[in-house]
Copies of this chain bind each other. A is one copy, B any other.
Amino acid sequence: MMAGAAGLSLGARHLAHAAGYGGDLTDVRAAIDRNQPQAVKRLQDWIGLASNAAEGRNIQEGAQYMSELLWSAGFQSVRVVQTDGSPGVFATMDNGSARTVGMYFMYDVKQFDPSEWSAPPLEGRIVDRPGLGKVMIGRGAVNQKGPQASFLAALHALRDAGRKPPVNIVLIAEGEEEIASPHFPQIVRRPDVLAALERCKEVWMPTAAQSATGDVTIELGAKGLIELEMTCSDKAWGRGAANDIHSSYKAMLDSPVWRLIKALNTLVSEDGNDPAIDGWFEHVQPLTARQKEIIADQAAHTPEAVLKHEMGVQRWVRDLPYREALERLASQPTVNIEGMYAGYTGPGGKTLLPSKAVAKLDLRLVPDQTATDAAAKLKAHLARRGFGDINVNVTGGYNPTQTDERSSLIRACVDVYRTAGLDPNLSPRAAGSWPGYIFTDPPVALPAGHFGFGHGAGAHAPNEYYVIDSTVPMLRGMAGATQGYVAFLYALERG
């Protein structure tokens, strides 16, 4: 769910240092190259099994497949963990190290419509992308199977080179990330999982952090999120008609569609850009001086025109200057309508008065908002205006998450990128969301973040891809990303 909101570049303040982690890794690199065909095939096969909680697609199968991937990568204990929703996977690998590292995986992917794709979304077809190299097209290619498969390839390569990974690993995977992880707390807060996480100093997730030009960004946090459906129905309201009825009756009957519009209208400012829900900003923290400094660096290092072109955008909200737009991206809570429907939506018209109207919303949260408080505030806001009968079904939520840039996790990220000659950029907070709060909030309370070389795009969109072989000088393909994960494990060992 993070993808699509990263990729803003920031100039570094430090020089890369020359020494690599793990000493001479020639043997591991050779193993990575040798295993590359199998690694690519492994990713393609995984893409072939799309799991999706929203549609109830391949849920048990996806968890089973995830555990087989972990077994085969050398985890000694792998357990499918049931929840009230989709199961997760809890796996551990004891390598006799003094250092234990926590990891977070997701095995689910976003829904897709094959008719919108240039290649079948579950085939994992490799195509030439001029100016980029060979990319694999597929649902989940970058979000998140590609980076995760590259990490698994690192474990295979270490074993193939006759090495043990330098750290012990505690890995927790879920299958509901794309519906905002409603049951993930049930997994993380199991006594056995909590006990395992107590041995860790951080939790991280493999990602493809490089932009198409090779720049890399480290996110120091992420916005929170609640996703919900608002349904206005005549049935709950006690007005209008029990079923869709001929539209001529509008003259004497109320309309749930107008009612939903009137209710939605109260949720945002006149231009639709600021939340207007009662008390919404009560716990919202302004950006710190340091966060503003980081954003100013972002603005200075990623040309506005480039970003606008990539996004297909002409103007920011309120025609804001670039830096202010970026500050909003990091700091502003949002109320977005991701989908909406009522009545007849086919070709032409159909003169009916609908008996139901639905809006799907996602609301991004910033520190110190919480998902629970946000949902309660929305419901209270509606009830106060007489819209208490409008059903608000919260399908998932994350708190915001924040990790200190001085933590050993972020220092390891920075060091490994620098060692590779990259100048890592910082972002104070991703505008996208991930369930990092489950690790950064009590009872776990650990730094949490993402690491990984490589690039992809199109998360949640058609033609999602992950770069397999890069023709861009500083941009790593899959094998390079795999090398990066090996180096990262050695860096964490020392951190």
Contacts of A261 in B (CB 8 A): 261, 264-265, 272, 337
CB within 8 Å of B: which A232-288 residues: 238-255, 257-259, 261-262, 264-265, 268, 270-273
Given that A238-B315, A255-B272 are contacting pairs, would A360 and B343 also be in contact in the complex, using a CB cutoff of 8 Å? yes
| Complex alpha-carbon distance, A348 and B240, angstroms | 26
| Complex alpha-carbon distance, A315 and B357, angstroms | 19
Interface residue? A329 (CB, 8 A) = yes
Question: How far does the Cβ of A445 sit from chain B's closest Cβ, in whole Å?
Answer: 25
Given that A179-B349, A223-B248, A430-B248 are contacting pairs, would A340 and B343 also be in contact in the complex, using a CB cutoff of 8 Å? yes
Interface residue? A84 (CB, 8 A) = no
CB within 8 Å of B: which A323-349 residues: 325-326, 328-332, 334-349
A: interface residue count bin: 35 or more
Contacts of A364 in B (CB 8 A): 247-248, 250-251
Contacts of A250 in B (CB 8 A): 334-336, 364
| Complex alpha-carbon distance, A317 and B258, angstroms | 13
Query: Do residues A338 and B351 form an inter-chain contact, with CB atoms below 8 A?
Result: yes
Interface residue? A492 (CB, 8 A) = no
Contacts of A245 in B (CB 8 A): 4, 311-312, 461
Interface residue? A148 (CB, 8 A) = no
Interface residue? A362 (CB, 8 A) = yes
Contacts of A320 in B (CB 8 A): 252
Query: Do residues A339 and B332 form an inter-chain contact, with CB atoms below 8 A?
Result: no
| Complex alpha-carbon distance, A352 and B111, angstroms | 12
Residue of A110, A223, A252, A272 with most chain B CB atoms under a 10 A cut-off: A252
Given that A258-B268, A261-B261, A262-B270 are contacting pairs, would A253 and B339 also be in contact in the complex, using a CB cutoff of 8 Å? no
Query: Do residues A353 and B329 form an inter-chain contact, with CB atoms below 8 A?
Result: no
Given that A262-B265, A336-B353 are contacting pairs, would A252 and B343 also be in contact in the complex, using a CB cutoff of 8 Å? no
Query: Do residues A362 and B354 form an inter-chain contact, with CB atoms below 8 A?
Result: no
| Complex alpha-carbon distance, A247 and B334, angstroms | 9
Given that A240-B313, A246-B459, A312-B245 are contacting pairs, would A336 and B433 also be in contact in the complex, using a CB cutoff of 8 Å? no
Contacts of A315 in B (CB 8 A): 238-239, 254
Contacts of A248 in B (CB 8 A): 4-5, 223, 329, 334, 364, 430-433
Residue of A225, A316, A351, A358 with most chain B CB atoms under a 10 A cut-off: A351
Contacts of A330 in B (CB 8 A): 251
Given that A245-B311, A262-B265, A362-B349 are contacting pairs, would A332 and B53 also be in contact in the complex, using a CB cutoff of 8 Å? no
| Complex alpha-carbon distance, A335 and B344, angstroms | 16
| Of B180, B244, B251, B342, the contact of A337 (CB 8 Å cutoff) | B342
Interface residue? A72 (CB, 8 A) = no
Contacts of A430 in B (CB 8 A): 248
CB within 8 Å of B: which A387-430 residues: 395-396, 430
Query: Do residues B344 and A338 form an inter-chain contact, with CB atoms below 8 A?
Result: yes
Query: Do residues B255 and A347 form an inter-chain contact, with CB atoms below 8 A?
Result: no
Interface residue? A54 (CB, 8 A) = yes
Contacts of A239 in B (CB 8 A): 314-315
21 contacting pairs across A/B (C-beta < 8 A):
A4-B246, A54-B349, A56-B347, A245-B311, A245-B312, A249-B431, A250-B334, A250-B335, A250-B336, A250-B364, A252-B316, A253-B313, A254-B273, A255-B273, A258-B337, A338-B343, A339-B343, A339-B354, A341-B345, A350-B360, A350-B460
Binding site for B on A (CB under 8 A): 1, 3-5, 53-56, 110-111, 179-180, 223, 225, 227, 229, 238-255, 257-259, 261-262, 264-265, 268, 270-273, 311-317, 320, 325-326, 328-332, 334-354, 357-358, 360, 362, 364, 395-396, 430-433, 459-461
